[in-house]
Amino acid sequence: MNESLKEKLLHLRLNRLATQWEEDLKAAARQRMSHAAFLTYVIEEEYRVKRDNAQQQRLKRARLPEPWTLETFPFARQPKLNRKAIMALYDTMDFIPKAQNIIWLGGTGVGKTGLATSFLTRAIQQGCSGRYVLFAELITKLYHSVADHSQERLLRKYINCDVLQIDELGYIETEPVQVGLFFTLMQRRHKKKPTLITSNLGFREWGSFLKNDHLTAALIDRLTECSHVFNMRECESLRPKLSAPS
């Protein structure tokens, strides 16, 4: 390939073709491709690379703690979990166009984060934008945004995600201004975009950290109006048990 052609390909952002030109020509010759077949092959390969790169960028922006997949979840160790219902949601992913939330409630170590992150990962792989955030981190960011008057910009960042995962809701107590902004975030996503939530507390206990009975009731009402709730409070922890000291 001469430098002029390479420069044109790079200008058109056909980076793969610019680097694989000679290999593609050899492949075309080996397979005796027609001009139409060769052009189709080149376009499909360029599309594949751009699609894969875009997916990797979305996964990176989502800030996932670990790349969980549902295929590796140990359902056999959680017989009380409704595997059929979870797999049905995961296979169809129709909770996204329906803007339905999914909420997992249960103790520490039962697999709530792994399940939620699996759904977020799959949504991103299917072309959605997504974001993972710990509830404690979200609440802190909302609080700081008030000080520099950036709360609307911060809210839009989370509102605009196709799928938002809020993990470990309930591990930190909140201030009134934080609760108000969190409620605003959930209200503005309500019936528009789905949110994946995990919490170690049951709904009746949410008032203990939100500290506002009225907003707590309104928040639960909105979150559960269009949602799937999985109660994992009777599930066993999947984390290795430490042996008692001898």
What is the separation of C-alpha 195 from the centre of its chain, rounded to a whole number of angstroms?
A: 9
pLDDT band at 246 (very low <50, low <70, confident <90, very high): very low
Lowest mean pLDDT among 3-7, 32-36, 100-104: 3-7
* pLDDT, average across residues 17-35: 85
Dump pLDDT digits (tens) for 212-225. 899 999 999 999 99
Dump pLDDT digits (tens) for 85-110. 999 999 999 999 999 999 999 998 99
Question: Which string of b and e fits 161-174 if b means at least 16 CB within 10 Å?
Answer: bbbbbbbbbbeeeb
pTM: 0.80
Q: Which tokens sit at 117?
A: 């992150």
Edge-to-edge order in the sheet of strand 130-134:
130-134, 163-169, 195-199, 101-106, 227-232
Q: What is the pLDDT of residue 117?
A: 95
pLDDT band at 46 (very low <50, low <70, confident <90, very high): confident
What is the separation of C-alpha 214 from the centre of its chain, rounded to a whole number of angstroms?
A: 29
Dump pLDDT digits (tens) for 122-162. 999 999 999 999 999 999 999 999 999 999 999 999 999 99
Under 8 Å between Cβ of 95 and 192: no
* pLDDT, average across residues 13-25: 83
User: For residue 185, is pLDDT > 70?
Assistant: yes
Cα 3 from Cα 89, distance rounded (Å) = 51
Cα 42 from Cα 235, distance rounded (Å) = 51
pLDDT band at 9 (very low <50, low <70, confident <90, very high): confident
Q: What is the pLDDT of residue 139?
A: 94
| pLDDT-above-90 percentage for the chain | 55
Residue 199: beta bridge partners?
Answer: 105, 169
Helix, strand, coil percentages for the chain (3-state, nearest 5): 55, 10, 30
At residue 226, what are phi and psi to the nearest 5 degrees?
-125, 80
